[in-house]
Structure 1
Amino acid sequence: MRDFFSGVGFFFQGIGWVAKHGRWWLFGLIPAVIAFVVYVVALIFLGQYAFEIADFLTPFADSWSWRDTFRTIMGVIIFIGGLALAVITYAALTLAIGEPFYERLSGEADPLPDHEEKPWWRTLPRSIRDSLVTLLYVLAFTIPLFVLGFIPVIGQTVVPVIGAMVSGFFLSVELTTLALERRDLPRKARMALLRKNLPLTLGFGVPIFLLFLVPLVAVIAMPAAVAGAALMVRGRLAPR
């Protein structure tokens, strides 16, 4: 439990770091705002067509007397699922858009004197590939949890908790990528390291995931999350 709260503490350390380095916080807001606009447009589109998608996916309910109620519930679930997926992938898209921004921010929070910086255009393809692999992992967990969400009681209690833990873990995976890549750790090694330090990883990622559910907070908190991840890697995961 202590490691879990240590993970929470590293996020607050990230907040403290950007508070002391205001220009880096403003620097990190640029890609966060761009990604936010992309997701707002996508979610508005999903909100407009969620019920039509529900109709398309449930032709078997045409003869049901309560089909309208069922499809309304399905439309709401589809939108909520889209919102959850947006929260999970927000960090990945923001990091991809802001690779040169966050590479510098992370390097300032976690300086490695002997590290040779690589041009961002060389690391970007690998970052996108790793993010896509992480997304596949997320979907592998999210789809079963989405189905389990229809089970009474369990779907409204246990499943959201598990979902937050899964989302928090993969959010930590994305946020620690920059600092761990500077230490030449490939994706599989990074995942293994975070699994080995699971309470710490969840303590860092779960609160950030919950904060990212609030749209504007996600934008404001993104630079602090990147800085906090760099500090966590430096202090606990791969001290150097």
Structure 2
Amino acid sequence: MRSLRDFSAGIGFFLKGFGWVARNGRWWGFGLIPALIAFAVYVVALIFLGMYAFELAEFLTPFADAWSWQGVFRTLVGIVLFAGGLALAVVTFTAVTLAIGEPFYERLSAAADPLDDEIEQPWWRTLPRSIRDSLVTLCYVLLFTLPLFVLGFVPVLGQTVVPVLGAAVSGFFLTVELTTLALERRGVARKERFRLLRANMGVTLGFGVAVFVLFLVPFVAVIAMPAAVAGAAFLVRHHIAPTIQAPHPPTTP
């Protein structure tokens, strides 16, 4: 029962993010810019993949040249390649958008989650660390999602259990990405961020799964991205790390 309440609370923080950006339309428009750039990049990449998926399948399966059913087999491989590219786009969209829009979303997160005595760092100093952390997170995502993608072709299991597990895994790592800004502003390192989110798994999954499901809808991810960043800031401020504030500035002797 408590897990269900925590899951619902996580969804509630995402909705609070929508409420905040709706009341602060300037920040919503501000946060749309990097999301639109990332969306355009993904659209071009997916169109390119769709145009050449079958040629790529033919290149990857030279062993099937002599098969009588090579056409059917390579068509299936092409479909799998495109589906895999689409799934990868969904799970990496947030990381790429945050990397592109680091200065945008850092300011948005700070506006939604003001901290006392915060030491502001220029975005060009925090960007390399953010990219490194995003790459580490992406490795974890692939470690879990690739086996799930393969299991998705297993009859019954692939249509029931695997989608649920996939949504949970993707939701968790989306929350990892989206809460990074608010937790970094509190001086929380990557390992500690993972520990905090695992310790609050119910609310973490509720927030992340809600974001994941909404991000599956084309273009909705662009519109929802500013709300997701604001909601993640509220999640950190009021649930994940309510007692952790920004590091105090050094005192001069």
Q: With the length of structure 1 as denominator, give the TM-score of the two structures.
A: 0.96
Partner in structure 2 of residue 61 of structure 1: 64
Residue 202 in structure 1 maps to residue 205 in structure 2? yes
Moved more, 13-22 or 56-65: 56-65
Partner in structure 1 of residue 215 of structure 2: 212
Partner in structure 1 of residue 178 of structure 2: 175
Which amino acid in 2 is paired with 1:105? Answer: L
Deviation track 1:71-100 (CA, whole Å, cap 9, x = no partner) reads 222211211111111111111111111111
What's the offset of the Cα at 1:67?
2.7
Q: Which 4+ stretches in 1 moved above 6 angstroms?
A: none
Residue 119 in structure 1 maps to residue 116 in structure 2? no
Q: Which runs of 5+ in 1 are unaligned?
A: none
Quick one: distance in 1 between partners of 2:63 and 2:164?
31
Partner in structure 2 of residue 149 of structure 1: 152
Partner in structure 1 of residue 249 of structure 2: none
Partner in structure 2 of residue 109 of structure 1: 112
The residue matched to 2:219 in structure 1 has which SS? helix
Quick one: distance in 1 between partners of 2:74 and 2:203?
40
Once the two structures are superposed, the pairs formed by residues 44-83 of structure 1 within 5 Å of their partners are 44-83=47-86
Once the two structures are superposed, the pairs formed by residues 81-92 of structure 1 within 5 Å of their partners are 81-92=84-95
Residue 188 in structure 1 maps to residue 208 in structure 2? no
- Equivalenced residue count is 240
What's the offset of the Cα at 1:61?
3.2
- From 19, 23, 29, the counterpart of 2:22: 19
What's the offset of the Cα at 1:54?
1.9
RMSD over equivalenced CA pairs, Å = 1.2
What's the offset of the Cα at 1:238?
0.5
Q: Which runs of 5+ in 2 are unaligned?
A: 244-253
The alpha-carbon distance between structure 1 residues 60 and 146, as it changes in their structure 2 partners (threshold 3 A), is farther
Quick one: distance in 1 between partners of 2:65 and 2:145?
27
Quick one: distance in 2 between partners of 1:185 and 1:36?
29
Deviation track 1:132-180 (CA, whole Å, cap 9, x = no partner) reads 1111111111211122122112122211221111111111100000000
Partner in structure 2 of residue 138 of structure 1: 141
What's the offset of the Cα at 1:62?
3.3
What's the offset of the Cα at 1:222?
0.2
Quick one: distance in 1 between partners of 2:66 and 2:153?
21
What's the offset of the Cα at 1:70?
2.4
Residue 10 in structure 1 maps to residue 4 in structure 2? no
Which amino acid in 2 is paired with 1:67? Answer: Q
